[in-house]
Structure formats: structure tokens, C-alpha cells
Amino acid sequence: MTQPKHTIVALVADRPGVLNRVASLFRRRGFNIESIAVGRTEMKGVSRMTIVVSGDTATVEQVRKQLDKVIDVIKLSDITDEDRVDRELALIKVKTTPQNRSEIMQIVDIFRANIVDVAAESVTVEVTGDEDKISSLLNLLRDFGIKEVARTGRLAMTRGTVPT
């Protein structure tokens, strides 16, 4: 049975070991992280984590409360039900032949993705978008042969003026 996914945004103090504090909390309490993405913010000393967890409402509520107890977690929001922008970046290295290269380039164009590296037998595609878009592109490219995929995990932000 698939559990609904929740998107949680945590603003955390930019200190060594914070990612470890958050990640190990998930591990020891048996919560499953689908993805976690971390980076700096516009505020000095504050990093932003976008965490995707799956589980029923009670589990996710418990995740949120336990995370909130971590001293380095400054602010926490569950933006699952908010109007929001979700983005993920993926780099996809696809096998190419001289015959199918232009077909691949067409597909990449349709998805408004970019080719960021070309080699004799492969191209590397950079794509940003929500999870569905990236999965669709991956599905289309799979037939050509995928050599490598790297994905960032989800980044999310609410739309409009309400900050997360």
C-alpha cells in the first residue's frame, strides 16, 4: 500500500552536524525519508531543508513534532496542502547513436530540458520540474538506454506572499 507523501520545509541553523541530527532522528524513530534536499537561504546562518516523507497523518504529525524538538530547527511547515511550487533537478545520461541523436534532442526540447554535455555515444540531459515531468521524460528516454541518473530530490516553496 502506498502512503500519501508529505512535503515538509524546515529552516535550520547552518551549523555542522544539523543534517545528521535531522536524518538520524528519522532513522531511529523508523520514519521513512523519500527525499531530503538542503541548501542555504537568503538569511545568513539559515539553511532550508525540503523533506518528503510518506506515512499516514498521525505518523507525519509525529515526524513534525519530533523535528520541531531539534534545537537547531528554527521553523517547520508542512506545506503538503498549500498552493506551492515543487521542483526537482535531474541529470540524465542517455546512450546515443548517430541515428537517434536528433530524436532525443526533439524530446528534450519538448520537455524544455537542456543538453548539457555531448559525447560520442551519449548525451547528458538537464531537466527541472515536478516529479511527474521528470518521470515522464525518464520513461521516454529509457528506450534509448539510460547510463546514469542523478536527482536532487524535491525542493518546494509556497506560492504568493506567504512565506514558508
Partner 1 sequence: MKLTGAQIVCESLAREGVEVMFGFPGGTLLPFYDTLRHYPQLRHILVRHEQGAAHAADGYARATGRPGLCCATSGPGATNLVTGIANAYLDSSPVIAMTGQVARPFIGKDAFQEIDITGITLPITKHNYIALSAADLARIFKEAFYIATTGRLGTVLIDIPRDVFIEEAEFHYPVKVDLPGYKPILRGHPAQIRKAAQLIDRAKCPVIISGRGVIISGAHQEIRELAEKAQIPVITTLLGTSSFPENHMLSLGMLGMHGLAYANMAVTHADLVIAIGMRFDDRATGIVSGFAPKASIIHIDIDPAEIGKNVRVDVPIVGDVKHVLRELNKQVTNQTHVGWIQQLEQWRQEHPSIDIRGGEELLPQYVIRSICEVTNSDATIVTGVGQHQMWSAQHFCYKKPNSFISSGGLGTMGFELPAAIGVKVGRPEETVWCVAGDGGIQMTIQELATMVQERLAIKIAIMNNGYLGMVRQWQELFYGRRYVATPLMGPDFLKIADAYGISALRVKKRSEVIPAIQRAMEHDGPFLIDFMVEPEESVYPMVPPGATLAQVIECPKRKAAVPSTSGTVSNI
Positions touching partner 1 (CB under 8 A) are 12-13, 17, 20-21, 24, 28, 58, 61-62, 65-66, 68-75
What is the smallest separation between the CB atom of 46 and partner 1, expressed in angstroms? 9
The CA distance from 86 to 154, in Å, is: 7
What is the smallest separation between the CB atom of 108 and partner 1, expressed in angstroms? 42
What is the smallest separation between the CB atom of 102 and partner 1, expressed in angstroms? 51
| Closer residue to partner 1 (CB): 75 or 142 | 75
What is the smallest separation between the CB atom of 26 and partner 1, expressed in angstroms? 12
CB within 8 A of 66, min separation 6: which ones?
Answer: 25, 29
| Closer residue to partner 1 (CB): 74 or 107 | 74
| Closer residue to partner 1 (CB): 12 or 90 | 12
Q: Which residues pair with 33 in a beta bridge?
A: 53
| Closer residue to partner 1 (CB): 60 or 123 | 60
The grid coordinates of residue 159 equal: 506560492
**Helical ranges in the chain per DSSP H:** 18-28, 57-69, 101-110, 131-142
The CA distance from 126 to 64, in Å, is: 33
